[in-house]
Amino acid sequence: MARGGINLVLVRKAREALLSRGQNPSIDAIRIELGNTGSKTTIQRYLKEIEAHDPRPSASPSRLSDELTEMVGKMLERLLEEGNEALAHERSAFEIERKAMKAESSTLQGHLEQAQREIAKLQSALQTQDEELKTVQSSLQTEITRNARISQSCSDLEVRVQEKDAQIESLEEKHSHAREALEHYRVAVKEQRDQDLNRHEAQIYQMQQEVTVLQQTLMVKQEDATRMIRDNERLIAENRQHAKEANQHRDAIENLRGDLGIANAATARAEGAKELLAHQLEAKTKEVSEARSDASAAQQREGDLVQKLASAEAEIKELRASSNAEISKE
């Protein structure tokens, strides 16, 4: 059975084509004429069938005349020459086309390399942009953290300012109470002095002998007053030093509380001195000179307390100014 579409008709046409060209219709030649298709056995079988039904004798070069043989040979040579020329032409055209394709391939290769370089540049630029984006994101996160820290610092500063205002208000209230107590003390001392003077006016002559003793007592009291003045000056210096340190330290309020405790202690000492003077006035009801001296001491103490109160008020103003300056610096 024929394969690849080979049949009797095709084999016959191939045989006739070979005979028309003066070639021997062999099995191999017919197979080549058919495009290298079909098996040799099938072609041989079809050739036998064709030769069995073909009344023409088999073509053989020996049966041809010399003239025809020569003519066929020339035609064969011419066909070979034309075939070689056509083959050379085809080869030339193929070489030109090959060179053109090679040039085009080189051009495409160059374009490909350029495209690869551009892709590499784009990838590098993209990587750089990614790094810049990461840097920007890191800077943004840092700025957000810094803003949060600044907001917290502002909140803490507001709380400290409120605490300082409350402490200043408390100090002002305490000094106001001290001022009222001083006023009451002044009135009480004045009343007591008037009573003592009225009560002891008749005993002035009898108490003159005790002047020397009282003068010594007065010197002791003056020394006490001098010591208290030095203590008061020391307290004022400490308060000023604390006010200066308030610009450098944030815990100035705590130091101020300590200073306030010292001032309260001094006030307590003053109250004790006042009570001591009152007891001395009661114990020496017959000593007019001592009563006058106690009155003078009371007046001196009153002046000291007034001066201390003024210093405390000035200290409050300085602390308030230093607190405002600290707030402005922060």
Say yes or no to pLDDT of 40 above 80.
yes
60: region left, alpha or beta (phi > 0 left; psi from -120 to 50 alpha): beta
**Distance (Å, rounded) from C-alpha 58 to C-alpha 54?**
9
The two structure tokens encoding residue 314: 């000035």
**Distance (Å, rounded) from C-alpha 13 to C-alpha 25?**
11
**Distance (Å, rounded) from C-alpha 14 to C-alpha 11?**
5
* Chosen domain end from 43, 63, 83: 63
Residue 256 CB partners (closer than 8 Å, separation 6+): 167, 171, 242, 246, 319
In a domain, 52, yes or no: yes
- Residue 204 binned pLDDT confidence (cut-offs 50, 70, 90): low
In a domain, 126, yes or no: no
In a domain, 323, yes or no: yes
Higher pLDDT, 121 or 229: 121
Say yes or no to pLDDT of 106 above 50.
yes
Length of the chain: 330
In a domain, 122, yes or no: no
Looking at the fold, whether 177 and 309 belong to one and the same domain comes out as: yes
* Chosen domain end from 14, 30, 63: 63
Crossing angle between the packed helical segments 66-200 and 252-283, to the nearest 10 degrees? 10
pLDDT digits (tens, 9 = 90+) for 280-311: 667 766 776 776 777 778 778 778 878 888 88
The two structure tokens encoding residue 133: 């984006």
Q: Domain range for residue 37?
A: 1-63
Q: Which of 116-120, 180-184, 204-208, 268-272 has the lowest mean pLDDT?
A: 204-208
Nearest to 193 by CA among 56, 294, 108: 294
In a domain, 20, yes or no: yes
